[in-house]
Structures are given as C-alpha cells and as structure tokens.
C-alpha cells in the first residue's frame, strides 16, 4: 500500500536580494560552497553534544546576506512518501525533522528585477537517513546565471510589412539540469525593434499586439551568442456580423438565471466560445457563419442545449429553459472501521466520503465527512437514487481516512462495486499505517552567489488601452461590462484605476474610484445613447498614466427596427420628368407594424423648403403628396423633396431629387405659363401670323399660347 502526504505548496512572492558576490559563470547542479565550515555531514550519534552545539554556532555566525529562500523536503520509505517545505531565516538557515528513509532537499529563490523574474534552483540529490542518524547537514548553493545571451529582432505587420510599435515580446527560459528558469518581457520601440538579455538556456517566445493574432516561436536553444528572431503578425479579421443572444430562464418560475455558463460549439469548424449570463440572465455571442450547439449549465439545474443555424448577418434570439434539479435525500449509509497497525481501532479519525449521482449523463458530486468513535467505527448518510445505469445511478467514488500520527489512506471504487441505492448500507474498513518517529534533524544553509541588485527606477503604469467596447463602437448592449488592458511594467507594483464615465465628451469621475479590477459594470444604460469614458491608472508609488477618452453608442430598443422608405416616385435623380408630375409617391414600412409619423417637405425653385404633409399615426402603405401652388412646373429644373418617418423609437430620413423636362420658358401644345408676377411680356411668334409684340398680362394670371408653337418670352 502506497500513500502520500502532500505538504508542499507553490510559493510565490517578491524576494529582495542583497548579495555582494559578483556574477559567476554557469554551474552544474549541486555545486557546493567549499569554504563552508561544515557541508553535507551526517551525524550517527558518535559525536558528543557539546561538539555538535559548537559546530552549529559556528555555522550560524557564518555570514549569510540573503534574507529568505524556499526549501523543500521529499521523503519516502518505499511504501509511503511525504513532501514538506519551509522558509529559511534571514541567515539562510533551514531545518526539517524526519524519520529514517530516502530524502532529497531542494531550494530555490525568486529574484525579480524590473520585468525579469528568475528562479535559481538546486538540490542535494537523494541521500539515506538510517536508524542511527540523528542529525544531517545539507548546505545548498544557488547560482544566479550570467546573462551572456541576447535575442534581438523586429515585429512586423504580416500584410503591410510595416513595423509594429509597442508590441509585447515575452520569453520563458529553462537552464540546463534544472538549475534555473525565468521569465522576461519587453516592448518594441517605434521601429518595431526589441532586445532581451538572458542566460544561455532553452527558450520559448511569445509576441502580441492589440488588433493582431499572437505570434511566437517554440522551443529553441541559445548559447553565449546573439540570435535574431523576427515576427510577422497577422491582423485580426474584421468584427463578425452575426449574433447569437438570448436569456437563460428557470423553466418552473420563468425567472432569469444569473451566472449560468453558456457555451457554443460548431463541430464542423471547431469554433468554440463561452460566457456567463448577467443579472438578467442575458448572454450574447458574436459568431461566424455556422451550425452551433448552444449549451446552458448552472449548479442545481439540469443542463440543456439547442441547435441553431447562423447565416450571414443573422441575429438569432435563443432562449434556453433549465429545469431545476432536486437533490435526493440522504437515504443510504456508509459505515465501517478505521484501524491502525492492522488491528487497533483509531478514534477521531477524519473520514471523508466522495460520491456522485448521474441523471441522463449529467454528473452531480457530493461530499460527506465524519469522525470515528472510540471503537474506530464511523457511519454517515449519503444521497442515493435507484440504479438504472447508465441513465441514472449513484455511487461512492472514494473513502479517505486521516488521523494524527498515521499515514493518510484512501480507497477508490469503480462501477459496479461503487453503486449505492436508497436503503443500502455501504461497508468499507480503512487501514492506516503508523508514521515512524521523526528521529533525525536535517538542517543547513542556503546560499546565493552571482547576484547584484540595484533598486530599479519606478515606471508609471501602462497607459490603459484596448477598450471594450472599442472606441466608436455602436449597437452596444445596454447591460454591458466594460473592460480595458492595464498593468504596470514594474513587477510587483500594485495598480488601481479611476473611471470617468458619462454622456458628455468630458465625462465625470465615478466615485469612489481606486479599483483594482480592469472591468466596470455601469448598470443598465439608455438605448440609442452615446457615452464617453476614460481610465486613469495609478501605481502604489503615486505614479499615474491617463488613458484617452473613448466613446460608444448603445443599441436600439430590443425588438425595434427603424422604418423603411422605398419605391419613391419620381425615382431618385431621375430626369425628363413630365411637367407637372402627377404626384409625389413613396412606400413606408415598419417591420414590427408600429404606427408611424410621416413628415414630407419639398424645396421649390427659389430654394425654400415647404412642408407638403405631416401625417400622424399612419400604418404600412403607399402614400402620395402633391405640392400646392403654381411654382413647381418649371422646365429643366431640379427639385428636391424629403421624407422623414419615425415609429417613436427610431427614425429614417430619405431625400430625393428629380429634374423636369423642357426648357425653362418653352411653351408648346396646351401648356399654360403662369405670369402672375411678370408685368410686361414680349412675345415673338415664329409663324407668319402677326402676334409679335408686348402684351400686358391681365389679372386672370394666364396667357394662352395654344396655337403658338415656339414662343420666346422675356420677363421684366
């Protein structure tokens, strides 16, 4: 039986190092400090206590300039294993108590310098602690590697081949024999150039720029040299024009379900995306054309999915109802005994039962725990459902036991032995092995060499960028969480943000400000409204960066489309239109069937706009309008008319022109020229009939040239 006690954790943090040693070249693992008074010595009990104490005091006075290291112990006796960790004191001293067995002590330090983080590592390798060992000294030296390698290059737009400024370039690197690993980053300058220094190592590179697909380079090796790595990034495709959106609702109460997980997947193109619903149960995806499965999930609800086909420019409303899941009662029992040394009942052992039940391929987990009594007996109730595998069933997955002084143990179960039904008593005894006495002290010092640190100059935070919604975006939902890209080039700096938001081009500050998240929920916004916002970033050194003012416009009210105006007569920009046109005509339509208000205006030959009609509460249909008065029949004249239609939520305006036929004063056939404002008119007839001369126009406002043919007129 093999068990494992895990006590090691990942330790992250910034450690300030102040070591006077100079930079040293690369070292193999397990390099030792030869001037340590004691190094890797095992005491077997033959040395008297006074000598041991004297040597310990000598070690403690040995100069250690580094403040804290992280030290890990791996121990095994062949059947069990334990991982443990500790921190050194300010002198680099550490200590572990352990039992006889095979051990390995490893150590690392986290060194942060501006954008670079590097972790030098080293270990003792496996060594044996036997029954006679009471004390073991293991000193470990960490080497800060010499940065003798350089990576340079440029980042370009792959289409235009122009350099990309302010692109981020990142590297992760690994030293030989796991002696270190590190991370570093920089940004390209205005010419797209970057430069990074690092130790000879195995490297992975990444590069990114807003508006471009990320790039990178897989594993490669660099020695004491300079390598050139150029990157060509592809611009992101234009925004997708199709949408899948809707609400996730409780199928019983029809209430919206917030924080439900919603995923979409196109199994043909392997396109996948996920999101969560907001407080109103709303979700939205911007998607390419395809065939999608939309799946909604939420704790305590049955999962549900539906299929939707998306064509070009589709906006599909997909609401999904979830049936509430009612957990079964605790109607079965798990019982047994916890034994130590094979037969001794163990009291107060912590027993944990992990189980699950499945309904139609949806799994729900549960955990129950209890303590054993003085007889080692435990009993705990668990939920169970009738077995109808694979459609529905419940099972016990594992039973764990743990008590002080004994190794943890766990028993795993699989189908069909794991099945439990209502009324069942599931029996399981757990046997724990006693831990041996920790009779040996492993201790030592951790030393770092090769590192000099100069406190870096503080840089301001990154200027807030990459706004979402993007600057100038339209059709933004009224329930929308804003986000932006922030951060700070100085590792370890804390960044907070002040938000300025409103409907004026100089938006006011949103109080209280000083938030750490790069998201903001403004609450429900107004429809068809333009908003302005700005982010100011602050670091913990009171340095700041001011973002630009961005704007966006919210969507129209749900379910409402702007009215449509079409089939105008005369056709827009038509020429040779008969004088006068029989009518001005247009067809209007509202997709939702809303009543509309129509306003029609016409510009006469003097350039004056005249309202022809204002109609309120009209429905879909074709409407005609006729200009009044006698000043709209001039020949060879371009007239303009405008139609404005609103359904109360949105409006549409169309402006048209047409040009009449003939010349301005040419009269033929039965045409009538209105000389209402003429005064004297000179008339010349081209035939022999003597009608030439000046005619005083009388007050009937009409001169009839029915038999004139072509007539030249002159208006005073």
**241 torsion bin: left (phi>0), alpha (psi -120 to 50), beta (else):** alpha
Query: Is there a contact between 263 and 249 (Cβ–Cβ < 8 Å)?
Result: no
Q: Pull the structure tokens for residue 433.
A: 């092995």
Q: What tens digit of pLDDT does each residue of 121-153 get?
A: 999 999 999 988 889 999 999 999 999 999 999
The chain-wide mean pLDDT, for the chain, equals 81
- pLDDT band of 36, cuts 50, 70, 90: very low
Give me the pLDDT at residue 706, please: 38
The CA distance from 94 to 554, in Å, is 61
Give me the pLDDT at residue 67, please: 54
**E strand or H helix at 290, and its extent?**
strand 290-297
- pLDDT band of 346, cuts 50, 70, 90: very high
Nearest to 411 by CA among 330, 332, 336: 336
Give me the pLDDT at residue 318, please: 95
pLDDT of residue 15 exceeding 70: no
Q: Which residues pair with 654 in a beta bridge?
A: 643
Cα angle for residues 36, 42, 43 (degrees, 5° grid): 110
522 DSSP 8-state letter = -
Burial class of residue 487 in the structure, from the number of CB atoms within 10 Å of its CB (0-12 exposed, 13-18 middle, 19+ buried): middle
Residues whose CB is less than 8 angstroms from the CB of residue 23 and which lie 6 or more positions away in sequence, other chains included: 144, 146, 450, 451, 452
Q: Report the DSSP pairing between strands 425-427 and 330-340.
A: parallel
Pick the more confident residue, 34 or 709.
709
pLDDT of residue 359 exceeding 90: no
The CA distance from 483 to 198, in Å, is 34
pLDDT of residue 413 exceeding 70: yes
Tell me the domains of the chain and their CATH numbers. Answer: 149-233 (2.60.40.1120), 242-322 (2.60.40.1120), 465-554 (2.60.40.10), 564-657 (2.60.40)
Nearest to 385 by CA among 411, 346, 419, 422: 422
How much is the average pLDDT of 377-395? 92
Q: What tens digit of pLDDT does each residue of 223-236 get?
A: 999 999 999 999 98
**pTM recorded for the entire structure:** 0.51
Low-confidence winner among 207-211, 458-462, 611-615 (lowest mean pLDDT): 611-615
| pLDDT cut 70: percent of the chain above it | 80
Peptide bond into 469 cis (omega under 30): yes
Reported as half-sphere exposure (CB side, CA atoms, 13 A), residue 42 has a value of 11
Residues whose CB is less than 8 angstroms from the CB of residue 646 and which lie 6 or more positions away in sequence, other chains included: 563, 596, 597, 652
The CA distance from 196 to 217, in Å, is 15
The CA distance from 281 to 675, in Å, is 71
Give me the pLDDT at residue 592, please: 73
How much is the average pLDDT of 192-207? 94
């Amino acid at each position: 039986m093999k068990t494992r006690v895990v006590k090691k954790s990942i330790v992250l943090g910034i450690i300030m190092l102040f070591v006077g040693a100079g930079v040293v070249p690369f070292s193999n693992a397990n390099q030792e400090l030869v001037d340590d008074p004691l190094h890797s010595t095992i005491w077997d009990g033959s040395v008297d206590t006074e000598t041991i104490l004297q040597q310990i005091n000598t070690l403690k006075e040995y100069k250690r300039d580094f403040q804290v290291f992280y030290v890990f112990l791996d121990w095994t006796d062949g059947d069990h294993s334990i991982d443990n960790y500790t921190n050194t004191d300010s002198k680099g001293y550490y200590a572990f108590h352990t039992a006889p067995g095979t051990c390995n002590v490893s150590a690392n330090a986290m060194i942060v310098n501006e954008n670079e983080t590097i972790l030098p590592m080293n270990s003792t390798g496996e060594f044996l602690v036997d029954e006679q060992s009471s004390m073991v000294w293991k000193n470990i030296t960490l080497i800060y590697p010499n940065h003798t390698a350089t990576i340079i290059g440029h980042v370009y737009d792959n289409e235009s081949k122009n350099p990309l400024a302010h692109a981020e370039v990142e590297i992760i690197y690994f030293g030989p024999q796991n002696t270190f690993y590190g991370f570093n980053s920089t940004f390209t300058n205005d010419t797209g150039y970057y430069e990074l220094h690092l130790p000879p190592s195995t490297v992975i590179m990444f590069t990114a720029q807003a508006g471009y697909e990320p790039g990178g380079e897989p594993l490669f090796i660099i020695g004491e040299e300079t390598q050139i790595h150029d990157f060509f990034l592809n611009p992101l495709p234009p925004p997708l024009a199709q949408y899948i959106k809707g609400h996730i609702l409780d199928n019983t109460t029809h209430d919206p379900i917030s924080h439900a997980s919603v995923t979409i997947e196109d199994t043909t193109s392997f396109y996948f995306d996920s999101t969560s619903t907001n407080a109103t149960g709303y979700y939205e995806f911007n998607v390419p054309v395809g065939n999608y499965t939309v799946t909604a999930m939420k704790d305590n609800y049955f999962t549900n999915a539906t299929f939707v086909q998306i064509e070009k420019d589709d906006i599909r409303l997909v609401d999904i109802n979830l049936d509430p899941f009612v957990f079964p009662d605790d109607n079965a029992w798990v019982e047994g005994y916890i034994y130590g040394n094979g037969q001794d009942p163990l009291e107060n052992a912590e027993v944990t039962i992990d189980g699950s039940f499945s309904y139609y391929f949806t799994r729900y987990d549960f955990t129950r725990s209890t303590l054993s009594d003085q007889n080692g007996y435990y009993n705990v109730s668990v939920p169970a459902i009738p077995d109808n595998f694979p459609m529905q069933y419940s099972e016990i997955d594992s039973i764990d036991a743990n008590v002080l002084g004994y190794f943890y143990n766990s028993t795993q179960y699989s189908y069909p032995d794991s099945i439990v039904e209502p009324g069942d008593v599931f029996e399981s005894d757990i046997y724990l092995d006693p831990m041996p006495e920790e009779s040996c002290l492993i201790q030592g010092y951790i030393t770092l060499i090769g590192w000099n640190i100069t406190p870096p100059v503080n840089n301001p935070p990154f200027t807030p960028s990459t706004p979402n919604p993007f600057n100038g975006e339209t059709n933004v939902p009224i329930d929308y969480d804003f986000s932006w890209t922030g951060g700070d080039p100085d590792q370890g700096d804390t960044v907070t943000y002040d938000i300025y938001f409103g409907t004026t081009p100089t938006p006011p500050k949103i109080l209280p400000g000083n938030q750490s998240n790069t998201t903001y929920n403004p609450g429900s916004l107004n429809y068809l409204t333009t908003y302005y916002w700005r982010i100011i970033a602050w670091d913990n050194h009171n340095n700041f960066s001011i973002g630009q003012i961005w704007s966006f416009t919210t969507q129209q009210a749900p379910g409402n489309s702007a009215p449509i105006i079409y089939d105008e007569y005369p056709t827009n920009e038509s020429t040779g239109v008969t004088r006068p046109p029989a009518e001005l005509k247009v067809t209007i339509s509202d997709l939702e069937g809303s009543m509309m208000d129509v306003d029609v205006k016409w510009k006469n030959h003097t350039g004056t706009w005249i309202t022809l009609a204002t109609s309120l509460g009209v429905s879909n249909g074709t409407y005609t309008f006729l200009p009044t008065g006698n000043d709209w029949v001039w020949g060879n004249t371009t007239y303009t008319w405008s139609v404005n239609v609103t359904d109360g939520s949105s409006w549409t305006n169309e402006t048209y022109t047409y040009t009449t036929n003939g010349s301005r004063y040419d009269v033929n056939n039965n045409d009538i020229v209105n000389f209402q404002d003429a005064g004297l008119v000179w008339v010349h007839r081209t035939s022999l009939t003597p009608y030439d001369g000046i005619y005083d126009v009388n007050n009937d406002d009409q001169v009839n040239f029915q038999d004139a043919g072509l007539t030249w007129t002159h208006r005073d």
